[in-house]
Structure 1
Amino acid sequence: MKLDPFDKVVKKRNGFPLLILGGAGLLGLILAAFFWLMGDIEKPQVTIAADSVQIGLDKQVSFEIKDAKSGLRSIEVALVQENKKVLLFGKTYPRKGYLAGAGPQKIEETIEIKAKELGFKDGAAELVVTAADFSWWNWLRGNSTVNASAITIDTKPPMISVMESPTYIKGGGAGVVVYRVSEPAGRHGVLVNDIFYPGFAMPKRGEGVYGACLGLPYDIAVIEKAFVVAADRAGNEAKAPFTMALHVRKVVSDKITISDGFLSAKLPEFASHYPELAGTPVEQYIKVNNEVRAANYKKIQEVCAKFQPERLWDGRFGRMEGSPRAGYADHRTYLYNGEKIDEQVHLGVDIASLEHANVEAANRGLVVFAEYLGIYGNTVILDHGQGIFSLYSHLSQIEVPLHTMVEKGTVIGLSGTTGMAGGDHLHFGLLVNGIFVDPIEWWDEEWLKIHMLSVL
């Protein structure tokens, strides 16, 4: 059977429209991409950190620049004052393609500005950020943003006057330093050796007056440095020294025998909270008494890192009725079968009363911790404001929810044996900015009046 030549022509003609349609589709895609790029009229977005409005002697300034479509092509940051302009940061990014994302879509940078070294004077200036993208808009020049932020250059540190400070203080003791800062302060407080105690405003004492509660570690041997530190809002920092006579604390030693009965009673509790415990019972005990103890103290410091700026407490701190079982800063040696296996320092006071006795809030405060805490067992921590905290441990039951304001004498739990407790008792601790101090001072009304309340 012969094919009609006309059939061949028809078949060829039937393929021709498909070719036209395919070409039109490809052209459409090209045009769509072109107009998408041409239609990218969104300018790069510039965000400068809020604390950059004041520039001091040495300032870290952070900024973020975004361009979600074509991506960033170039960035410049300059400091401008009158006729003076200094480029602080400049970067051009290579093109990675001709469609979306030709450049980075987000850039975060931090630059250091030393205004005085750069020849700028104190006063008004501008921080100018210029960013351009890879858009085909504007005849291939792309979109650009110029963000000019008014700033103030201030390179003079504030003046500090120390108004009051403790005459003497002992290891594990507490006190208050009062100081005046000549201008509104940013970060401020007291630095003793390497420990920083953040300050708080004392408006009743006058404008620009601040205070900081400090508590010294039990084992401090010498005060190498003691300064009030304050930085203004531009970041300029000043220091003012003060002196205190240090009474070194005497060492009190104690020995505790660890029995097999104690280990068999306590280790299952710890294993339920720390399933990674392994080894012999003694090895597990040593791990809990060291590694878990250290992790618990780190958590306590985290809890105490933020405090209510106003004083919530008033008057003498209450003491649970009962017999003292261990004192603050007792140096404990732990014995097993007559041999030393560990040693630690006890940073609180143990008080034994009736079994499951009511444990009351020692003073008015905010519940900032109420849960299980390793060697401390069920624990409640109260924030009394201005860096003062109290801790109640080994509770059999917790009676107050988190974030509750409790009055002095409120029952917050029941005494017990949770954690590293051999018998029913309360472990009571006092902390100043995360440092355990001697609770006995806080039970002494006369001491509180002289050293704390008369100042605060």
Structure 2
Amino acid sequence: MQKKRTGTIVILAILLAIVAMGLFLYNSPMFERKPPQITLEKDIHWNLRNPIPLQIKDDCGVKFLRIILSDGENNIVLLNETYATPKKEIDTYVEYPKTGFFSKSSTLILKVEATDGSKWNMFRGNKAVAKAQIFPDTKTPNLLALTNSYKITKGGVALVAFKAEDENLKDVYIKTNFGHLFEPTPFYKEGYFVSLLAWPSHEDTFKAEIVAVDKAGNESKTRVKLFLENKRYRSSTIALKESFIEGKITDLAKRYARDFNTMDDLAKFKFVNETLRSDDEKTIAKVTSAVTPMPSNKRIT
């Protein structure tokens, strides 16, 4: 009887050890069960020049990566990499092959396979597959300046009308040499646009260029041809009258100055003419310059 009890205890101990080992392995990072995360857009318009960004992440680390481009009949392996040290994050780019692949197909398939370094799945790791449908597009948008003002005066505005067409048109804007983007307004019918262009008085010169970009990144540009008229704005000097200071100047100073009670007539005038006017000019400039700031790499030189 004693031997049976001892045998039963041993068997139970072995079973408990097996269960404990199983739980340990099941929850161990070495046996992580999450497949790699592949960041890739499902539908991509590609001009075959700009690389396609690709990101793969995995808690255990990516051990194997394969990238395949196919037109349904022909395949080419763009990347077939095994990493001796698994990488938890891979940021790379897919480039169109310069040789070994030619297709006239209107669509391509980009397939990405990633396997991590986990011991799960009989030590084969977790595998993830992502596919993207590629729409090759190497044609630039059709862009035509229809009409515009003959000239633009420094501190003034001009008008331009143009036509921009593309099956996959993404963005249309007008950029300047001083870092502003003007967003045109659709008018007349589809594909036609109109926009006002402003030449700030503090800018020495003015250049404007219409830009049309499609979903594949193809870009068309055309310069807006304007005659530039430089205008000098006069600075005038006026005589101060007591009635003027006691009237509007005093009213404004009393409303906006915090130390009005300590001000003499000269201090009131200086506050209104310098401090208050400066604030107003900044507000006007901010409102009238409410256009999209342009990255330095998009500015005209």
The aligned runs of 1:42-121 (5 Å cut-off) are 42-49=34-41, 53-68=44-59, 70-95=60-85, 103-107=86-90, 109-111=91-93, 113-114=95-96, 119-121=102-104
Instruction: Give me the CA root mean square deviation.
Output: 4.2
Please say if 1:192 is aligned against 2:176: yes
Q: Please, which of 426, 429, 439 is the counterpart of residue 284 of structure 2?
A: 429
The aligned runs of 1:16-415 (5 Å cut-off) are 30-36=21-27, 40-49=32-41, 53-68=44-59, 70-95=60-85, 103-107=86-90, 109-111=91-93, 113-114=95-96, 119-121=102-104, 123-183=106-166, 184-193=168-177, 195-202=179-186, 204-223=187-206, 226-250=208-232, 252=234, 354-355=251-252
The runs of 5 or more residues in structure 1 that have no matched partner are: 1-16, 96-102, 256-322, 324-350, 359-394, 398-416, 436-456
Label 1:209 to 1:43 Cα distance change in 2 as closer, same or farther (>3 A): same
> How far is the alpha carbon of 1:212 from its aligned partner?
3.6
Label 1:164 to 1:197 Cα distance change in 2 as closer, same or farther (>3 A): farther
Label 1:116 to 1:220 Cα distance change in 2 as closer, same or farther (>3 A): farther
Q: For residue 185 of structure 1, what is the amino acid of its counterpart?
A: L
Q: Taking CA–CA contacts closer than 8 Å with sequence separation of 6 or more, which of the two structures ends up with the larger relative contact order?
A: 2
Contact 1:352 1:425 in 2 (8 A): no
Contact 1:43 1:143 in 2 (8 A): yes
Identity %: 21
Contact 1:181 1:208 in 2 (8 A): yes
Contact 2:40 2:130 in 1 (8 A): no
Task: Tell me how many residue pairs correspond in the alignment.
Answer: 255
Label 1:132 to 1:426 Cα distance change in 2 as closer, same or farther (>3 A): closer
> How far is the alpha carbon of 1:156 from its aligned partner?
0.6
* Cα separation, 2, equivalents of 1:44 and 1:249: 63
> How far is the alpha carbon of 1:45 from its aligned partner?
2.4
- Secondary structure of 1:421 counterpart: helix
> How far is the alpha carbon of 1:422 from its aligned partner?
6.2
- Secondary structure of 2:109 counterpart: strand
Cα deviations across residues 111-169 of structure 1 (Å, max 9, x unaligned)? 15357887454620112111101222333222212211112111111101212322100
* Cα separation, 2, equivalents of 1:76 and 1:208: 42
Contact 2:154 2:231 in 1 (8 A): yes
* Cα separation, 1, equivalents of 2:111 and 2:26: 31
Cα deviations across residues 84-113 of structure 1 (Å, max 9, x unaligned)? 334445543334xxxxxxx44443x24153
* Cα separation, 2, equivalents of 1:111 and 1:53: 14
Label 1:217 to 1:121 Cα distance change in 2 as closer, same or farther (>3 A): farther
Cα deviations across residues 302-342 of structure 1 (Å, max 9, x unaligned)? xxxxxxxxxxxxxxxxxxxxx9xxxxxxxxxxxxxxxxxxx
* Cα separation, 1, equivalents of 2:250 and 2:105: 65
* Cα separation, 2, equivalents of 1:42 and 1:424: 61
Label 1:432 to 1:167 Cα distance change in 2 as closer, same or farther (>3 A): farther
* Cα separation, 2, equivalents of 1:71 and 1:89: 18
> How far is the alpha carbon of 1:426 from its aligned partner?
4.1
* Cα separation, 2, equivalents of 1:140 and 1:213: 65
- Secondary structure of 2:107 counterpart: strand
